[in-house]
Homo-oligomer: A and B are copies of this chain.
Amino acid sequence: MEALKKSFTEHVKSLQIEIIEQMKKIDPSLKLNKDLWNRKDKNGDDGGGGITCALSGDIFENAGVNTSIVHGLMDPSFGKQILKESNSDGEQKEYRMWASGISLILHPRNPRVPTVHANFRMIQVNDKFWFGGGADLTPYYPYEEDFRHFHEIWKKACGDDYPKMKEVCDNYFVNKHRNNEMRGIGGIFFDHLNSGDTKADFEQVVYLSNHFIESYFPIAEKRVIEKYTSEDEEFQLHRRGRYVEFNLLHDRGTTFGLKTNGRTDSILISLPARCKFSYAYKPPVGSIHEKMMENYFPKDW
């Protein structure tokens, strides 16, 4: 199992480099702010760390492409909860975790280019292993062929698992307090992936993660040359506001990370550089942006 863990970590690190290279191809102005960080576990021992890459340029207004490999002793009550063990399993048991993953979010400046988010992770607690991850798209303009492209790639990558992974995604990235509007147009999402064959799961998740570039960059390349209007930007900035609402109110990764003393700057790198909030905001009646709103509800692409 140690070989798989090492291999997963090498994979996410090389994927991190590859994705940043793809971004640079589209955005030669891109500036990289790379932070290496370390953490202590709950006993103050070495707990691993990460590589945070904060990026900003003319095309990608702000972005984060982060990897982390963390490990160490866990709070026993949290360990018990995560392994779904009952309280009778003995209070004194130690819970040791290991987690390796990549997490990224790209916020383009041009509202015709969608925002995208993805993450892929391998997790171990004591002798149990599982995987999680996904990729979802947040467009601001109704180029439906782009939405179909994104979903097509994931359909191809996921095979029979696509319908379930799409449904989980549709149900997860939802602003319940905004009449169940989704953050974007979905994609795939999976958690606690554990078929019993860790090697097979590893191969599937590596395979999935290798589809990210194909799912997003052709769209970005195609749309980055589109001219946009101030109305497009107004809509984008308000939708980015909804993105902030989702991430801070509902996203389990964000709230969990902040509550467990995670590295705040690396976690909140997901927030857009600029956004707007207006009372009872609605796109203008009859506008293309009003039409776009229909896409923020589950749909077959």
Contact = CB atoms under 8 A, between A and B. Distances in A.
A275 B244 CA distance: 11
Nearest to A271: B277
Contacts of A269: 279
Contacts of A237: 274
Interface string A241-282: 100110011000001001000001100110111111111100
A237 B265 CA distance: 17
A119 interface: no
A64 B280 CA distance: 12
Interface residues of A, number: 31
Contacts of A258: 177, 249
Contacts of A62: 277-279
Nearest to A54: B279
A35 interface: yes
Contact of A268 (B245, B265, B271): B245
A230 interface: no
* Chain A contact surface mostly: mixed
Interface string A168-183: 0000000001100000
Given A35-B280, A62-B278, A277-B273, A255 B264 contact: no
A43 interface: no
A258 B56 CA distance: 33
A244 B177 CA distance: 16
Contacts of A279: 33, 52, 54, 56, 62, 64, 265, 269
A107 to B, nearest CB: 10
Interface in A22-38: 33, 35
B265 A280 contact: yes
Nearest to A241: B271
B249 A244 contact: no
Contacts of A56: 279
Contacts of A271: 241, 277
Contact of A245 (B248, B265, B275): B248
Interface of A: 33, 35, 52, 54, 56, 62, 64, 177-178, 237, 241, 244-245, 248-249, 255, 258, 264-265, 268-269, 271-280
